[in-house]
Amino acid sequence: MNQIIKKIENNERLNFQEALSLYDMDLFTLGKLANKKREELYGKKSFFNVNRHINPTNECKDVCRFCAFSANRKNPNPYTMSHEEILEIVKNALSHGIKEVHIVSAHNDKVGIDWYLGIFKKIKELYPALHIKALTAAEVNFLSESNGLSYEEVIDQMIENGVDSMPGGGAEIFDEDIREKICKGKVSSKNWFEIHRLWHQKGKKSNVTMLFGHIEERSHRIDHMMRIRDLQDETGGFNAFIPLVYQKENNYLKVENFPTSQEILKTYAISRLVLDNVPHIKAYWVTSTVNLALIAQEFGADDLDGTIEKESINSAAGAKSANGMKLDEFIHLIKDSGFIPVERDSLYNELKVYK
């Protein structure tokens, strides 16, 4: 273990086995190493943005076993918003100072591609300064398959209609055997990477997630990170890595051994040490809880996402995030935890430092 610590201190890249062995390290030693890397990059700054999540439909053709949001599984209340309803939400959110709208939907085969893409054009025409983060790789794959379009054709239409960046959803766990069990029929890991590769080649940025704490093993998480690191070496297009803690309610996985807080913090810390080429590690408070996300700032995480206003996907599975968080409360919590709140835009340009 001392050799691995020396490699980390010398900024040498870890291989798969070395990265996996970090899980056997003492939590506080691991945290100290990750925090040192974090502070070398950002000091005590902790980033967030003022954003609004919108999930325009929960009607989905796919049947992911971990999902509690889809109306085709455990959710008895199907809905699909009209463009007018979405625009009204955006209008109201703008009055609260949002800089980004984050739009992710289910895979609804009852509506066409114009429903998916047309709303972005309408938002951008009305509010050209508003950053639109939208369409996961899973949605791109769905629109490609259901409309007979190549990935590049879908991506070109996204850009033409005003999408500025892509979220990292749909990644789940890249191991194909695990994927077969939890999200069979969804975009493959190979195609997830191809979609983001094409997006990056257009000069655009995206994020990447990892859903952990269900049926995967630690080795699957490390494999997931290694694949991300490889594409980032190639394109440099990922802004942030977002480890998402699995939410256990209202779905079909029936996980019994939920990860401990120590396991979650170790995963954040290892992410920071392994992903030496991904700028930001996000502790997404929606899935980790606010309190653990604040602690994660000392274990390599430098971003807490944002105010969100309303969140539907994870809250359907038990997360306490349905109504987002007020800006002043967010700032207060970060300050109280000993860090400096920094409001950023979607591409991590600093907008305001709250000292």
Tell me, what's the pLDDT at 310? 53
pLDDT at residue 321 greater than cutoff 50: no
Q: Dump pLDDT digits (tens) for 100-119.
A: 999 998 888 889 999 999 99
> Would you state the pLDDT for residue 142?
94
In terms of phi and psi (left: phi > 0; alpha: psi -120 to 50; beta: otherwise), the region of 180 is alpha
Q: Give me the pLDDT at residue 317, please.
A: 42
Find all residues with CB under 8 Å of 50, minimum gap 6, and list them.
96, 97, 98, 99, 100, 306, 307, 327, 343
**Is the pLDDT confidence value at 308 over 50?**
yes
pLDDT in the model for residue 62: 63
**Gap between the Cα atoms of 79 and 317, Å rounded:** 17
Q: What percent of the chain has pLDDT over 90?
A: 73
Exposure string of 57-67, with b = 16+ CB inside 10 Å and e = fewer, is bbbbebebebb
Checking if the pLDDT of 306 tops 90, the result is no
Place of tokens 């699995």: 246
Average pLDDT of span 191-202 = 98
In the prediction, which pLDDT does 320 show? 44
Summarised one tens digit per residue, pLDDT across range 118-169 is 999 999 999 999 999 999 999 999 999 999 999 999 999 999 999 999 999 9
- Of the pLDDT bands very low, low, confident and very high (cuts 50, 70, 90), residue 326 is confident
pLDDT of 44 reads 98
Percent of the chain at pLDDT > 70 equals 89
Q: Which domains are delineated in the chain? A: 26-347 (3.20.20.70)
Round to whole Å and give the CA distance between 271 and 116.
33
Q: What is the pLDDT of residue 324?
A: 66
* In the predicted structure, residue 4 carries a pLDDT above the cut 50: yes
Sheet holding 280-281, edge to edge: 206-212, 238-245, 280-281
